[in-house]
Structure 1
Amino acid sequence: MQHLKRKCLRASVRLRHSEIYRKSTMAVLALAVSAGEAMASSKGAAGFTKATQEVSSYQTPVSNLMKAIAAVIVLVGAFNVYFKMRASVMVA
């Protein structure tokens, strides 16, 4: 029994130090990493698609808000010009 155990231990040590073992270990690790990255990238693509759709849905309300802000700025500017012109006419 001891003889068989020693032979198995020697065989496992030889296997661990062999080039085939190293290459197969690296191949398994590369496969695991690439599978993980593939799963993560598919989730990321779905997230970007969803975010793009949500941002696109805000386009019209944001556009209307910007137009309203621009209208207020134009009115304030127009009143400033009007009051300055009126003040310069009264002084002269």
Structure 2
Amino acid sequence: MKKQRKRILLSAMVMLTGLGAMAQGDGSAGITEATQMVTSYFDPATQLIYAIGAVVGLIGGVKVYGKFSSGDPDTSKTAASWFGACIFLIVAATILRSFFL
């Protein structure tokens, strides 16, 4: 029992010593670099979300036209849901971009 306790104490001391050795560098340079990397992804991501919104809008338009021309009474509900999806994508991309940049 005493031998096992010594092993646990020794392994804990070794791990704590290793943590002190890894924390010796300047952390602000790493944080600044990570921030720049993340913010550089916002422009392409925003453009991608806008493109996805355009594709969703086109698909929705075709589906609504198909329902309208077939005389389906659910046309307004379908149009509202597709239009709402497009608006959500555009607004979400704009708000996230303005919030984080």
More helix by share: 1
Q: TM-score scaled by structure 2?
A: 0.45
State TM-score, norm by structure 1. Answer: 0.49
Greater relative contact order (Cα < 8 A, sep 6+) = 2
